[in-house]
Every structure is written in C-alpha cells, then in structure tokens.
Amino acid sequence: MKADCGSCFALCCVALPFARSADFAVDKAAGTPCGNLQQDFRCGIHSRLRASGFPGCTVFDCFGAGQQVSQVTFGGRDWRTHPETRRQMFEVFPVQRQLHELLYYVTEALTRPAAGPVHAGLRQALAETEELVAADAARLATADVATLRQGVNTLLLKASELVRATVPGKKRSHRGADLMGARLAGADLRGATLRGAYLIAADLSGADLRSADLIGADLRDANLADADLTDALFLTQAQLNAAHGNATTRIPSTLTRPPHWPT
C-alpha cells in the first residue's frame, strides 16, 4: 500500500486532472499527460516540484494503486506502447486508488487491539476489498465503490470509537470542523476526533495528537513542530507531506519524516 513510482506508468501524472492554484502551476485535463512528464514516465522536475509551483504533486499518494494498475490489472502494458489501453487504464486508476486507500485504513484498524470487537467485520471487509483489487479492468470499471466505502466507514468509525475510548478524560469532537488557521499550539487533543476537519495552516505546534482520529483531515501547511502524533489514528504519509514539522515532531513508526521538514 505504498506507492512504487518506478513500477507505475505515471498514472497520477496523466489520468487525473488538476487546476491552476497554490498546489499546481498550470491547468491539466484528465487523460492528458503533464507537461513535465518525460518519455520514460519520470517527472522532469521531480527534485524541484515545490519550487516549480507543484507542491500538490508532493502530497499525492495513490497507496500503491499505480503499480497495481500498471503491472497487474494491465499486465505491464503501458499506455504509450499500447494506446488502446489508455481510456480504460485511466478510468480504472481512480477506482483502484480508492480501494487501496480502504485497504490502508482497514489494515491499520486491524493492528489496534482495542478495536478487537470489530476485527471480524474488518477482516471480511479486507477480503472483499482485496478480491476487487485483483479483479480485471472491466469489473473494476463498474465496481460500486461507494457502497463498499460506506460499509467500511461504519467499521472504521466503530474502531475509532473503541480506540479513543481507551484515552482517559473527555475527548474533543472537531469532526468536519473549520479550523483553518486555528491557534491550537500545545493543545491536548488526545483521543479527539478530527475526521474531515479543515486544519489548513493551523498552528498545532506542540499539540498532543496521540490516538486522535485524523482520517480525511486537511493538514496542508499546518504547523506540526514539536507535536506528538506517535499513534494518531489513520494518519497518512500524504497528510504529513502536506504539513510542516521539525526534528522533534513525533510521528508513527510506519511513516517517513518528509524531506522538506528541517532536521
């Protein structure tokens, strides 16, 4: 469930659209190769994406869907050499990306002992998702991912409640809250729910986010200097990459300190 760009045909650089904004320097339509994409499927400005106006590329994570579509679903046939695969490959990639994201969250929930009461349901959801991930392109193109996500989300919510219930004291609820630019330096957010919260440019320096549910939280430009996220729930690499931390920001052992953070 980690992206392996060397085994992918740059699907995120072609299949997905992006609009000129603070995240992208230009507009690009879905199915159109990015102007920075080289013939070998590598990015021509990969080492200077942020400086070139493409920070959005540095925070995107396909959770391994790119190599799955490239090497398994389409058996290593790339869209340049086999142009007949283009339409279906680009259609299937976003579907696989959603499925791999579900695999990431379900797998994490299964590592949480406190979520034991829903482990059976999570294992069933994992098996169903893995079966769909391995399906051919035709089946993937018609997959009802929305219904699958709804069922999985119910299980993830329960897992979150069970894990956060082990944290003593009253837990804050900021689900879906607009906390853009909020001053939360040093805040005790242990066991809080920040699902889908807008934390863009929020000051979370020194905050305690252990066991906080961060699924879907927007951490773009959030200040995580000295914050403790060691066992934050459902935190992704993309969320960390979008934020700003420092050498003493504590993160889960399964994630990597972003290269743009000072050491």
pLDDT at 2: 86
Q: How far is CA 47 from the centre of its chain?
A: 21
Q: Which two tokens stand for residue 44?
A: 């021509």
Residue with tokens 């072609």: 14
pLDDT at 134: 97
Q: What share of the chain is helix, strand, coil (3-state, %, to 5)?
A: 40, 5, 55
Is residue 249 scored above 90 in pLDDT?
Answer: yes
pLDDT at 138: 96
Task: Please report which confidence band the pLDDT of residue 88 belongs to, taking 50, 70 and 90 as the band edges.
Answer: very high
Nearest Cα to Cα of residue 60 among 261, 258, 251, 241 = 241
The count of structural domains within the chain is 2
Q: Are residues 121 and 13 in the same domain?
A: yes
pLDDT at 117: 98
Q: Are residues 35 and 106 in the same domain?
A: yes
Q: Are residues 147 and 197 in the same domain?
A: no
Is residue 217 scored above 90 in pLDDT?
Answer: yes
By the 8 A CB rule, do 221 and 237 touch?
no
Q: How confident is the model over 206-229, as a mean pLDDT?
A: 97
pLDDT at 263: 82
Q: Are residues 111 and 18 in the same domain?
A: yes
DSSP 69: I
Phi first, then psi: give them for residue 95, nearest 5 degrees: -65, -50
Is residue 59 scored above 90 in pLDDT?
Answer: no
Pick the last residue of a domain from 111, 135, 164.
164
Phi first, then psi: give them for residue 223, nearest 5 degrees: -90, 110
Pick the last residue of a domain from 130, 164, 198.
164
Q: Are residues 17 and 116 in the same domain?
A: yes
Report the half-sphere exposure of 226 (CA within 13 A, side-chain side): 8
Q: Are residues 197 and 252 in the same domain?
A: yes
Q: Are residues 32 and 113 in the same domain?
A: yes
Task: Please report which confidence band the pLDDT of residue 208 belongs to, taking 50, 70 and 90 as the band edges.
Answer: very high
Is residue 173 scored above 90 in pLDDT?
Answer: yes
Nearest Cα to Cα of residue 214 among 198, 193, 190 = 193
Q: How confident is the model over 55-79, as a mean pLDDT?
A: 95
DSSP 172: P
Q: Are residues 30 and 143 in the same domain?
A: yes
**How far, CA to CA in Å, does 191 sit from each of 32, 174, 185, 240?**
43, 11, 17, 19
Q: How confident is the model over 202-206, as a mean pLDDT?
A: 98
Q: Are residues 110 and 125 in the same domain?
A: yes
**How far, CA to CA in Å, does 161 sit from each of 105, 158, 259?**
14, 5, 33
Distance CA 240, CA 256 (A): 8
By the 8 A CB rule, do 43 and 49 touch?
yes
Pick the last residue of a domain from 111, 139, 164.
164
Q: Are residues 70 and 183 in the same domain?
A: no
Is residue 219 scored above 90 in pLDDT?
Answer: yes
For 184, the domain range is: 170-263
What is the overall mean pLDDT for the chain?
A: 95
Nearest Cα to Cα of residue 39 among 7, 81, 2, 68 = 81
pLDDT at 1: 80
Task: Please report which confidence band the pLDDT of residue 150 belongs to, taking 50, 70 and 90 as the band edges.
Answer: very high
Q: Are residues 139 and 239 in the same domain?
A: no
Nearest Cα to Cα of residue 233 among 64, 151, 98, 110 = 110
Q: Are residues 232 and 121 in the same domain?
A: no
Nearest Cα to Cα of residue 226 among 259, 257, 204 = 204
Distance CA 233, CA 170 (A): 17
The CATH number that applies at residue 235 is 2.160.20.80
Distance CA 46, CA 52 (A): 9
pLDDT at 234: 98
Is residue 96 scored above 90 in pLDDT?
Answer: yes
User: pLDDT (tens digit, 9 = 90+) per residue, 7-25?
Assistant: 999 999 999 999 999 899 9
How many other C-beta atoms can be found within 10 angstroms of the C-beta atom of residue 155?
21
